[in-house]
């Protein structure tokens, strides 16, 4: 068996970013606007995740996509930019305040016509979508306890060969056995929820799964 992944030190992370496609001015300003919000800015995905989302969507030739948890719009901007002509991204969120920043970015980037923002509980929105296997891509980055229910609604609507990308599957490293007990004692309920979900997903016979060591962990599930 090969050795584990190289630890991403701050210096190596800077190297990684320097040798990747750089954020365009709109993405850069969106990062700054989000950082100005304070502590909640930690919910924004990393720039390298945005690049990966765009590439995945482009590689799939995706036309029908769903995002659960839009926040200020960095991930939705990345996904929308990768959609095939005529493609649509349904964004699920419950905050008008945070998604106002997303609306600004979509308009500036010229992708607002590709995005259908639904301000409502995500499960309510998902259950209004056609029951057919029509989705090419989905990105889940919302309340962690809701992941199993979101996945259950998405997987039945995902076409064979389609992808679901799931964020924060590391929970800052607390999902490993040596740290779970401490996380539980500290009341970190998200850790237990994600650990249970990770285990369920890994044995789901409907998908092939790979967990990537990018940012706070990103799982890709490809429907067989």
Taking each continuous run of H as one helix and of E as one strand, the counts in the chain are: 9, 7
**CA–CA separation, 184 vs 160, rounded Å?**
37
If you ran DSSP here, which 8-state letter would residue 93 be given? E
Phi, psi of 33 (to 5 degrees): -60, -40
Regarding pTM above 0.85, the answer is yes
Q: What is the pLDDT of residue 219?
A: 98
Q: Specify the pLDDT at position 6.
A: 86
Closest CA to 164 of 199, 129, 205, 208: 208
Residue labelled with tokens 């590439």? 55
What is the pLDDT at residue 3?
Answer: 61
pLDDT for position 51: 97
Model pLDDT for residues 158-202, shown as the tens digit of each residue: 999 999 999 999 999 999 989 998 898 899 999 999 999 999 999
Q: Is the pLDDT of residue 68 over 80?
A: yes
**C-alpha to C-alpha distance for 63 and 98, rounded to whole angstroms:** 25
Length in residues, the chain: 224
For 113-137, how does the pLDDT look when each residue is reduced to its tens digit (9 = 90+)?
999 999 999 999 999 999 999 999 9
CB-based burial of residue 113 (10 Å sphere; 0-12 exposed, 13-18 middle, 19+ buried)? Answer: exposed
Strand order in the sheet with 218-223: 115-119, 88-93, 64-68, 135-140, 158-167, 218-223, 207-212
CB of 74 closer than 8 Å to CB of 45: yes
Judged against a pLDDT cut of 70, whether residue 1 lies above it is answered with: no
What pLDDT is attached to residue 142? 97
CA–CA separation, 201 and 148 (whole Å): 9
Query: 6-65 pLDDT, tens per residue?
Result: 888 999 999 999 999 999 999 999 999 999 999 999 999 999 999 999 999 999 999 999
């Amino acid at each position: 068996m090969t050795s584990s992944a190289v630890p991403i030190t701050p210096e190596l992370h800077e190297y990684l970013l320097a040798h990747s496609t750089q954020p365009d001015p709109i993405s850069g300003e969106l990062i700054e606007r989000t950082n100005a919000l304070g502590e909640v800015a930690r919910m924004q995905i990393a720039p390298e995740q945005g690049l990966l989302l765009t590439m995945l969507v482009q590689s799939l030739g995706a036309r029908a996509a769903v995002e659960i948890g839009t926040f200020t719009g960095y991930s939705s901007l990345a996904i929308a930019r990768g959609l095939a002509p005529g493609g649509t991204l349904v964004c699920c969120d419950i905050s008008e305040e945070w998604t106002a920043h997303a609306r600004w970015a979509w308009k500036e980037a010229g992708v607002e016509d590709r995005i259908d923002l639904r301000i409502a509980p995500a499960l309510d929105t998902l259950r209004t979508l056609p029951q057919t296997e029509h989705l090419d891509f989905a990105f889940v980055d919302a309340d962690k306890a809701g992941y199993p229910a979101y996945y259950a609604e998405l997987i039945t609507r995902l076409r064979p060969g389609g992808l679901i990308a799931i964020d924060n599957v590391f929970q800052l490293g607390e999902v490993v056995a040596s740290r779970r007990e401490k996380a539980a004692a500290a009341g970190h309920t998200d850790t237990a929820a994600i650990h249970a979900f990770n285990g369920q997903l890994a044995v789901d016979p409907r998908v092939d799964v790979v967990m990537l060591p990018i940012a706070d962990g990103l799982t890709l599930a490809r429907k067989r």
